[in-house]
Amino acid sequence: MKSSSKPESKIEEGWGNSYRLIASDRWKAKSAVMGKAVTEALVEYAQPKPGMRVLDLASGTGEPAISIAMRVGAQGRVTALDLSADLLEIASRRAQERGLNNFSIRQADAQALPFGDESFDLATCRFGVMFFPDAVLALRELHRVLRRNSRGCFLAWGLFEQPYWQSTMGVVHSHVGGPLLPAGGPDPFRFAEPGSLAVVLRSAGFREVEEETKTLPWSWPGTAEELWEQAQGVAVPFRPMLDRVPADMWPQIHEKVQAAIGQYVRGENIEFGAQVVVASGIK
């Protein structure tokens, strides 16, 4: 990646286009490594059992749906749901590569789920609940399609003030100023305030709600330059800010970001840790 201009590949607006970068041959393996601990933490928290019917909301390219499908076995069933048909096709191919016959995809809006009442034994959502325009409506829909005494389990980003975000988008923001995120737009940190996701879960009808903030491994197996290129590609909520950067400012930003990331280099890896919010509720 050149450091003398804007990012070479301008990612089109929209989640589907940003996630194509994750799924690309160049970053597929390393992105999977970076997200592995977070995915595993949500799967362990959700405790899928053999034979369960599971719905994974905002599944994107397929995690944690694929990991859960490996847990529920041949008698179970996992449905990966997302707004983007393109992302779901990637998820489907990944499941096929693993020989999973208990995995299906469904393109739909989480706020209008195309399933009957009490269709699922468990639901999960990794880094998705923050982006539902009406989170209470979406979780009421989820509550409807869950069977009684079933759980919905969620993982969301914690505060912006943590190493990964501060050394990437934080550096850009310190140079360009203005809003970090557009008002009313997608906000990865919507539920960073302790207790805020729990409030939404209760409002949607869930009981025995739990919420916890924890720090999990978040490690990139490569260079600072690679990580910064990948981060720009997947940064859909930050795209308006990135687009405000004057062309002549990019060389300085690239240098500062890579220096900030360099503080977290440990051997051949970049190890940040990720502060996340984990929450659940029972129907």
Helices (H), the chain: 15-23, 28-46, 65-72, 85-97, 135-145, 163-166, 169-176, 196-203, 224-234, 239-243, 250-262
CB under 8 Å to 4, separation ≥6 — which residues?
A: 250, 251
Determine the pLDDT at residue 12: 35
CB under 8 Å to 174, separation ≥6 — which residues?
A: none
CB 251 within 8 A of CB 3: yes
Q: Give the relative orientation of helices 65-72 and 85-97 as an angle to the nearest 10 degrees.
A: 40
| Distance (Å, whole) CA 5 – CA 253 | 10
Please give the domain boundaries of the chain with CATH numbers for all domains: 15-282 (3.40.50.150)
Six-digit token pair at 42?
Answer: 């949500």
- Of 123, 90, 120, the closest CA to residue 107 belongs to 90
| Distance (Å, whole) CA 109 – CA 82 | 7
Q: Give the relative orientation of helices 85-97 and 15-23 as an angle to the nearest 10 degrees.
A: 30
Question: What does each of the 283 residues of the chain score in pLDDT, given as a tens digit?
Answer: 333 333 333 333 455 554 444 444 467 678 888 999 999 999 999 999 999 999 999 998 899 999 999 999 999 999 999 998 888 888 899 899 999 999 999 999 999 999 999 999 999 999 999 999 999 999 999 999 999 999 999 999 999 999 999 999 999 999 999 999 999 889 999 999 999 999 999 999 999 999 999 999 999 999 999 999 888 887 889 989 999 999 999 999 999 999 999 999 999 999 999 999 999 999 9
Determine the pLDDT at residue 13: 43
Determine the pLDDT at residue 23: 40
pTM of model > 0.95: no
CB 121 within 8 A of CB 151: no
| Distance (Å, whole) CA 83 – CA 35 | 21
